[in-house]
């Protein structure tokens, strides 16, 4: 009995540290959004404008070069290839892929290409999880019986939690796809919920990419502020929900034993 209590205490200590770290990440994201808001009020500063004009001229040269060499079909093919590669190499940032496509493609084409690419990406990792198991997310979350019970929700998955995971721009994409595949979550529901969750970030990053050659413009800064603020609030919110439910599950299990 004492040994079991010691194991529970050790698990609780690890989870507490993990939750504290996640809350810190959420707070840092909110701080970045605050700094960007402050930057908006500093844009018209003469000192900043002098430096900005120099870089703006260089960015205009880069924009002209990109427009001259642009082959839409080749760019679309390369973007799709990046999405396929990301399904295996998780370290490639999704936001960077969306920004690049937004910077080199017309907005409507970029948006459509990224929607299709996301479907390919989350589908590959879903079926990977369906065949091979949850893998990385189980290790990432320390997926014990309590957490798995919470995520699965009577073996049907948590649709609203999947939506929240997708809404958070900074939350790992591939592990979530893999664990929902491993749980046997309905594929069509999974795709639809994932796309709905991705939609706010996709729109914001596409706008940022389209305005990448004007980095201190309002259309560039406002989407970034929304992204960081949404990320911070979502990370903290999801963390609080998981922490509360995991404590509840642990108490139930302790009572049963």
**What digits encode the pLDDT tens for the residues 27-38?**
998 999 999 998
Query: Residue 214: left if φ>0, alpha if ψ -120 to 50, beta else—which one?
Result: beta
Contacts of 59 (CB under 8 A, 6+ apart): 212, 213, 214, 215
| Domain residue ranges in the chain | 2-256
- Express each pLDDT in 63-115 by its tens digit: 666 666 667 788 888 888 888 888 888 778 888 888 888 888 888 888 999 99
Contacts of 29 (CB under 8 A, 6+ apart): 170, 228, 229, 231, 232, 235
Residue keyed to tokens 């589908």: 123
- Give the 3-state secondary structure of residue 12: helix
| Alpha-carbon span 98 to 208, nearest angstrom | 9
247 band by pLDDT with thresholds 50, 70 and 90 = low
Cβ neighbours, 10 Å, residue 134: 21
pLDDT top residue among 46 and 204: 204
With 0.95 as the threshold, say if the pTM is over it.
no
> What per-residue confidence (pLDDT) applies to 239?
80
> What per-residue confidence (pLDDT) applies to 57?
66
- Token duo for residue 232: 């911070």
56 band by pLDDT with thresholds 50, 70 and 90 = low
CA distances from 117 to 94, 142, 252 (A): 10, 30, 42
The overall average pLDDT reported for the chain is 77
Q: What is the mean pLDDT of residues 134-145?
A: 50
């Amino acid at each position: 009995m004492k040994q079991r209590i010691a194991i529970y205490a050790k698990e609780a200590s690890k989870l507490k540290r993990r939750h504290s770290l996640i809350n810190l990440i959420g707070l840092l994201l909110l701080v970045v959004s605050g700094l960007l808001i402050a930057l908006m009020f500093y844009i018209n500063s003469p000192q900043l404008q002098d430096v900005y004009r120099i870089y703006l001229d260089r960015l205009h040269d880069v924009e002209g070069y990109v427009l001259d060499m642009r082959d839409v079909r080749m760019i679309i093919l390369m973007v799709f290839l990046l999405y396929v590669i990301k399904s295996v190499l998780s370290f490639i940032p999704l936001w960077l892929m969306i920004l690049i496509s937004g910077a080199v493609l017309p907005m409507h084409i970029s948006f459509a290409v990224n929607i299709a690419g996301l479907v390919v990406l989350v589908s590959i990792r879903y079926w990977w999880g369906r065949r091979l198991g949850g893998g990385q997310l189980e290790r990432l979350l320390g997926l014990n019986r309590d957490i798995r019970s919470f995520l699965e929700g009577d073996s049907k998955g948590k649709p609203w939690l999947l939506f929240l995971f997708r809404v958070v721009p900074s939350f790992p994409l591939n592990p979530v796809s893999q664990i929902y595949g491993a749980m046997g979550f309905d594929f069509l529901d999974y795709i639809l919920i994932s796309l709905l969750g991705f939609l706010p970030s996709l729109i914001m990053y596409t706008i940022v990419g389209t305005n990448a050659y004007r980095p201190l413009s309002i259309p560039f800064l406002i989407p970034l502020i929304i992204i960081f603020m949404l990320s911070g609030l979502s990370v903290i919110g999801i963390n609080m929900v998981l922490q509360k439910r995991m404590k509840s599950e642990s108490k139930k299990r302790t009572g049963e034993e």
